[in-house]
Amino acid sequence: MTGSDRPDRRPPGRVGLLGTGAIGRSVASMILRHRPDLRLSAIHTRRPFDSIPDCPAPELLTDSLDAVIERSDVVVECSGDVALATAAAEKAVAAGLPLVSLNTEFHVTTGSHFAASGLVTEAEGDQPGCMAALREEALAMGFAPLVYGNLKGFLNLNPDPEEMAYWAKRQGISVLNTTGATDGTKVQMEQALIANGLGGGILRQGLLGPATHDLQAGAAQLAALAEEAGEPIADYILSNRQVPGVFLVARHDEDQATMLRYYKLGDGPYYVLVKPYHLCSLEVAKTLRRVLDGGGPLIDNSPRPRIGVVAIAKRRLEPGMRIEHGHGGFEVRGEAARLEDVPGHVPIGALHDAVVRRRIEPGEILRFEDVDLPDNPVTRISRALFAPAS
């Protein structure tokens, strides 16, 4: 039985929600209409209250993080903003509350700072959470994972701003999110979180991302490379014919080969398990229930991450130029990289209101010494994580 239909005499878990964008409003509606085991207790927003006419519960709106913490048993963060998620994590951890997010950018930027001191987890519904759940299912069935794979339909490393504005309007999402998905930053962040959270590695900076319409062939290629590398890997397949979602490639015991063939998983030795959807706002309640029941984090960025997401210049950057947004902007894009290979890099999630110090050519990785950053928790935490003093 699910958390919403099981007999349970406990009062519903109180959920404080951060974010009133499209995802946040959908999460609120889902909880209000379909999860009697959860009770929406507060909705945090930075917008004027009267500017959210379609808010499912306007009486719960607040602009105070402290009020959200006081009224909640668990906090769900889906603003997409690294700074807000970092501030919320600080308060939630200090109060002993779990924080569940739909915010990969937060995890790969400052999330490791909180992973050792509190329960901070990405939710099922976002690709890393879906992969973590799929991995748990695979392990329970005896599979040995080799590849944690993402499915990506399109890639343009340096998209045109007008084109991004057109697609953002057509899809009903922000230009930042549209651009971050198009230039690959989003998938790079997701796979970095998956690698760190599930104990895997990557094949190379920027991932391999084979372009193929044959999922089985691409999966087998990645699995063979993972075995050669000696550890599970996080990567993706690029194809506009694949369904959205995630896939896992694994081995199983040789004496199960006959049954796996009967179950239509093929002849092996590599078996592909696919979750062909990720319904962020509709699935998050599963992770809320998990942490309220004491299940622990689904996936976090690990207190000791091995993979980061560097910022790479898309065009020439001159001294004095301001980078308003790293992820989703038109100055830089993100690539997953081994931390040992990129000492002193600025994580792309920390590039907000940054001022360029020197000329940076297209393709260069930005380092802390290359930019002036605001003095705020995101800068301080990310500098401690990724550019510690020698």
User: Which CATH number belongs to the domain containing residue 61 in this structure?
Assistant: 3.40.50.720
Whether 17 maps to a domain, the answer reads yes
User: What span, in angstroms and rounded, lies between the C-alpha atoms of 152 and 240?
Assistant: 7
pLDDT in 10s for each residue of the chain, 390 residues: 444 555 456 789 999 999 999 899 999 999 999 999 999 999 999 999 999 989 999 999 999 999 999 999 999 999 989 999 999 999 999 999 999 999 999 999 999 999 989 999 999 999 999 999 999 999 999 999 999 999 998 999 999 999 989 988 888 888 888 889 999 999 999 999 999 999 999 999 999 999 999 999 999 999 999 999 999 999 999 998 878 899 999 999 999 999 999 999 999 999 999 999 999 999 999 999 999 999 999 999 999 999 999 999 999 999 999 999 999 899 999 999 999 999 999 999 999 999 999 999 999 999 999 999 999 999 999 999 998 765
Say whether both 68 and 94 belong to one domain. Answer: yes
Residue 8, pLDDT score: 58
- Biggest distance spanned by C-alpha atoms of the chain: 64
Six-digit token pair at 380?
């301080």
Residue 323: both structure tokens together = 């980078």
Q: Are residues 193 and 244 in the same domain?
A: yes
Neighbouring-strand partners of residue 307 = 338
Cβ–Cβ < 8 Å for 55, 20 = yes
| Rounded Cα–Cα distance for residues 30 and 35 (Å) | 7
CA gap 179, 163 in Å, rounded: 9
- Comparing CA positions, the residue from 316, 324, 369 lying closest to residue 346 is 369
pLDDT score for 53: 82
Whether residue 3 is contained in a domain is answered as no
Last-in-domain residue among 237, 262, 292: 292
Are 223 and 264 part of one and the same domain?
A: yes
Q: Which helix (H) or strand (E) holds 68?
A: helix 65-70
Asked if residue 298 belongs to a domain, the reply is no
Same domain, 196 and 261: yes
Q: Which residues contact 258 (CB under 8 A, 6 or more apart)?
A: none
221 falls within a domain: yes
- Rounded to whole angstroms, how far apart are CA atoms 102 and 35? 18
Distance in angstroms (rounded) separating the CA atoms of residues 342 and 334: 13
Sheet of strand 322-325: strand arrangement: 322-325, 352-356, 371-372
36 with 82, same domain?
yes
132 and 248 housed in the same domain: yes
Host H or E run for residue 89: helix 82-95
Q: Are residues 61 and 144 in the same domain?
A: no
Residues 358 and 287 reside in one and the same domain: no
Which residues fall within 8 angstroms of residue 160, CB to CB, at 6 or more apart?
none
Residue where the block lists tokens 């360029």: 356
For residue 91, CA distances in Å to 40, 118, 381 come to 19, 11, 15
Q: What is the span of the domain harbouring residue 191?
A: 127-277
What pLDDT score does 1 carry? 44
Domain assignment present for residue 299? The answer is no
Cβ atoms 182, 314 nearer than 8 A: no
Task: Say if residue 158 is in the same domain as residue 247.
Answer: yes
Q: Which pLDDT value is given to residue 177?
A: 87
Q: How many domains are there within the chain?
A: 3
Radius of gyration of the chain (CA): 21
Q: Provide the pairing of β-strand 99-101 with 74-77.
A: parallel
Both 33 and 56 in one domain: the answer is yes
Count other C-beta atoms under 10 Å from residue 200's C-beta. Answer: 23
In a domain, 297, yes or no: no
